[in-house]
């Protein structure tokens, strides 16, 4: 499993776009990149997953450059309710174990 590195914390304001970058220099060919969101005292919730280029869903976009050594989770027009910890995971398609890194604590201010 590739190790991931994320900023420990980030601050932003309501209505802004927030980009959280994750480094995964040792990513393997068959690894996928997945992001989860966790609110205090709740279980993590899946946000988005991708393999290459760009993936978009109703809540976020995921940008993955050609070398796949990093990825960026983009949250458009954040609100106070986006305050949470965001985890970047890298897993093989045949993965059995799951490793959560330390995550990025995102704080949104009015």
Partner 1 sequence: EAQVTQNPRYLITVTGKKLTVTCSQNMNHEYMSWYRQDPGLGLRQIYYSMNVEVTDKGDVPEGYKVSRKEKRNFPLILESPSPNQTSLYFCASGEQGARETQYFGPGTRLLVL
Nearest to 4, CA basis, from 75, 104, 105: 104
| Residue 44 interacting with partner 1 (CB under 8 A) | yes
Token pair 């989770």 in the structure block, residue: 73
Q: Rounded to the nearest whole angstrom, what is the least distance from the CB of residue 15 to partner 1 in the complex?
A: 29
Q: Is 105 in the site for partner 1 (CB under 8 A)?
A: no
Let me know: does 12 contact 105? Beta carbons within 8 Å.
no
Q: Which stretch binds partner 1 (CB under 8 A): 2-10, 19-27, 64-72, 95-103?
A: 95-103
Interface segment toward partner 1; rule CB under 8 A; list 17-25, 32-40, 59-67, 68-76: 32-40
Using the rule CB under 8 A, is 7 a contact of partner 1? no
Which two three-digit tokens encode residue 70?
């990093």
Q: What is the DSSP letter of 5?
A: B
**Footprint of partner 1 (CB under 8 A):** 32, 34, 36, 38, 41-46, 49, 87, 91-103
């Amino acid at each position: 499993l590739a190790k991931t590195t994320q900023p420990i914390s980030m601050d932003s304001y309501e209505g802004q776009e927030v980009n959280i970058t994750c480094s995964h220099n040792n990513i393997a060919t068959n690894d996928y990149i997945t992001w989860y969101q966790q609110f205090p005292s709740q279980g993590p919730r899946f946000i988005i997953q991708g393999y290459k280029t760009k993936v978009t869903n109703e809540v976020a976009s995921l940008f993955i450059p050609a070398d796949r050594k990093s990825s960026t989770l983009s949250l458009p027009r954040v609100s106070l309710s986006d305050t949470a910890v965001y985890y970047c995971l890298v897993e093989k398609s045949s993965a059995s174990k799951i490793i959560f890194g330390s995550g990025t604590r995102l704080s949104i201010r009015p």
